[in-house]
Chain A
Amino acid sequence: MTTWLANIACFVEKYNFTDSREDDALQTFKRTAERMGHKFDFMFRESISEIPKYDAVFIRATTDPLYTAYVVSRTASELGLKVVDDPESIQICGNKIHQYSLFRKHNLSHIPTVFINKDDFHHKQLLEIFKEFGKPVVVKAPYTSFSRYVEKVACETSFREVAKRYFRKSDVLAVQKFVPTAFDWRVGVLDDKVLYVCKYMIPKGRWKHGAKLRGKPTFIWGRTVSLKVENTPAELKELALNACKVIGHGLYGVDIKQVGDSYVLVEVNDNPSIYAGYEDLRSKDLYGKIIAFLVD
């Protein structure tokens, strides 16, 4: 019988295995953990009651304070287990209003942003936003992830239409200046250190990395270009690390736009995508580093 050094539960949902690249990455996590002497079990929502049997929990299912992943994270944390993503990171990263408030408080360079709230949303405020940011502007729901719930609007009618939809779920929304770029930097950060760096390319004719095809439910994604960490700009990495410090010390994917020679934060994501051949292409050791962090 094998004696394991630590027992790691990896919380997943069925959709985590539908993309072969994500499936490959998950299997690599398992192989790496076992090679390092740790047991690595995939845990689905039906097995949440087994959390106390483990030493650490690694969440790969989509995190949000509304989802089961948050229940898993908080439960593991309350039981004293090491957990990635920790509940505090989920709380801040899962709500962009919280996140931008912290960026503002800590003077971190980010895309110009204002908040609008449901009870105080009026024509004058809308005009002021267009005057300050120009047209179009980007309306963002606080729970945005994977390029969803973010829309570009160029007139009052479409602004109101998008805001009305997003206000159904959240009483506060973010509105940002539209900053078109050919790609977004994605900096993977673990425990206050840069883990990997990629460029998430924007598909031709689109303005964000993932875009829905008109009239179809499918998403198209831009290419992912992986770079060696040491070959990327120091200023970029510094901004990413500073942004993560105001959130926590776990695993994050920081999205940054480059405007000329300067960098501005788009957002910090917990539970960043890790797909075989993309994020890990130039940073093969990321699997081992994450496992080591979990059992540290």
Chain B
Amino acid sequence: MLVVSNIDLRTTTPSMKPSEFFKSSIKDFTLNLNNDYRYLKTGYYVSMHAEVLGNTVIPTSRSIIDVNRTPILLLEATKANIPTNHYLVTSSVKQIMLEIDFPIVVFAVNPFSFDGYKTANNKSALYRAVKSLGMNYKFAVCAQPLRGKMISFKSIFGKCQQGERLGEIARKVYEVFGVPICKLHVQLIEEKAYLCGLQPLKKEELLPADLQLISDEVACLSLKGDHLVG
């Protein structure tokens, strides 16, 4: 297993920096570890380079694009029986108000944003959210009804520290999309968790305990073998 990482791991498992990997043509199963898997960023190019070399890679470049586009994430999650809410893709505030009652949670469909989501309790807040997340209406947004409590948490190899219910959704999202390091946005409605969105982590959001967990998982995977990943 080839580990390409922009994170300093606390394990003896050998790993390579992305800039070294780009110059190489190593053919091996590739585990791409990065705090930021957004499209056009280094995390994306590592997976793309591995695929061009013919390597199996986690995560795939397709997953990287798709998980960062909320409507696609939700569509594919629904197909995989992960609970999701009704959603609407549009840049029209009027259309959102026509189809979804307040309060509303709005996600960016453009993958530049680190902001995640905004909630709106009234018309003017909705206008502000759509304008801001749609980058002045250039991009569409993904609107969902807000019927419970929004919870955001880190998911590392499908594991989290938020208990059984959220752990279950984190595990399923990892199984389907194979993104090892990310933040999940979930809505808790009557004790049931619904996936709402996914976003990358900033490097400073990775705490020593997270780095240890990542390192332990990498060490474990390198011992178990490639077939147990994802």
Asked whether A and B interact, the reply is yes
Q: Taking beta carbons and an 8 Å cutoff, which residues of A are in contact with B?
A: 45-46, 48-49, 65-68, 70-71, 74-75, 78, 87-88, 91, 95, 97-98, 101-102, 105, 115, 117-120, 142-143, 169-172
Interface contact B72-A71, CB-CB below 8 Å: yes
Bound CA–CA A119/B34 (angstroms): 14
For B42, list chain A residues within 8 Å (CB).
117-119, 171-172
A sample of 24 inter-chain contacts (CB < 8 A) reads A45-B91, A46-B91, A48-B90, A49-B88, A68-B139, A71-B71, A74-B72, A74-B75, A91-B61, A91-B62, A98-B61, A102-B52, A105-B52, A117-B19, A117-B42, A119-B19, A119-B42, A120-B19, A120-B22, A142-B40, A169-B40, A170-B41, A171-B41, A172-B22
Bound CA–CA A119/B4 (angstroms): 15
Whether a CB of chain A sits under 8 angstroms from the CB of B111 is: yes
Q: Which of B39, B75, B91 touches A66 (beta carbons < 8 Å)?
A: B39
Q: Which 5 A/B pairs are nearest by Cβ-Cβ distance?
A: A120-B19, A170-B40, A101-B52, A171-B42, A48-B89
B220 to chain A, nearest CB (A): 28
Interface contact B75-A91, CB-CB below 8 Å: no
Known: A48-B71, A169-B40. 20 other contacts (CB 8 A): A48-B140, A66-B39, A66-B111, A68-B89, A68-B139, A70-B65, A71-B69, A71-B71, A71-B89, A74-B72, A95-B40, A97-B45, A101-B52, A105-B52, A117-B19, A117-B22, A117-B45, A171-B40, A171-B42, A172-B42
Interface contact A171-B90, CB-CB below 8 Å: no
Bound CA–CA A102/B54 (angstroms): 11
B18 to chain A, nearest CB (A): 7
For B65, list chain A residues within 8 Å (CB).
65, 70, 91
Bound CA–CA A87/B76 (angstroms): 14
For A68, list chain B residues within 8 Å (CB).
89, 109, 139-140
Which B41-95 residues have a C-beta within 8 angstroms of A? Answer: 41-42, 45, 48-49, 52, 61-62, 65-66, 69, 71-72, 75-76, 79, 88-92, 95
Interface contact B72-A75, CB-CB below 8 Å: yes
Whether a CB of chain A sits under 8 angstroms from the CB of B132 is: no
Whether a CB of chain A sits under 8 angstroms from the CB of B215 is: no
Whether a CB of chain A sits under 8 angstroms from the CB of B152 is: no
For B95, list chain A residues within 8 Å (CB).
46
B58 to chain A, nearest CB (A): 18
For A91, list chain B residues within 8 Å (CB).
61-62, 65
Whether a CB of chain A sits under 8 angstroms from the CB of B110 is: yes
For B45, list chain A residues within 8 Å (CB).
97, 117, 171-172
Interface contact B48-A98, CB-CB below 8 Å: yes
Question: Which label, helix, strand, loop or mixed, suits the secondary structure of the B interface?
Answer: helix
For B41, list chain A residues within 8 Å (CB).
170-171
Interface contact A75-B71, CB-CB below 8 Å: yes
Bound CA–CA A98/B75 (angstroms): 26
A224 to chain B, nearest CB (A): 28
Q: Which of B22, B61, B109 touches A71 (beta carbons < 8 Å)?
A: B109
Interface contact B52-A98, CB-CB below 8 Å: yes
For A169, list chain B residues within 8 Å (CB).
40
Bound CA–CA A281/B182 (angstroms): 51
B217 to chain A, nearest CB (A): 25
Interface centre among A48, A67, A171 (most CB of B within 10 A): A171
Known: A65-B39, A117-B42. A70 touches B52 (CB 8 A): no
Bound CA–CA A67/B42 (angstroms): 20
Q: Which of B40, B61, B69 touches A70 (beta carbons < 8 Å)?
A: B69
Bound CA–CA A91/B60 (angstroms): 12
Known: A68-B140, A78-B79. A45 touches B90 (CB 8 A): yes
Bound CA–CA A102/B139 (angstroms): 30
For A143, list chain B residues within 8 Å (CB).
40
Bound CA–CA A68/B71 (angstroms): 10
A65 to chain B, nearest CB (A): 5
For B110, list chain A residues within 8 Å (CB).
66
Bound CA–CA A48/B90 (angstroms): 8
For B76, list chain A residues within 8 Å (CB).
78
A125 to chain B, nearest CB (A): 11
Q: Which of A49, A101, A119 touches B89 (beta carbons < 8 Å)?
A: A49
Which B90-136 residues have a C-beta within 8 angstroms of A? Answer: 90-92, 95, 109-112
Q: Which of A49, A87, A101 touches B48 (beta carbons < 8 Å)?
A: A101
Bound CA–CA A153/B88 (angstroms): 44
Bound CA–CA A117/B61 (angstroms): 18
Known: A66-B111, A70-B69, A170-B40. A75 touches B48 (CB 8 A): no
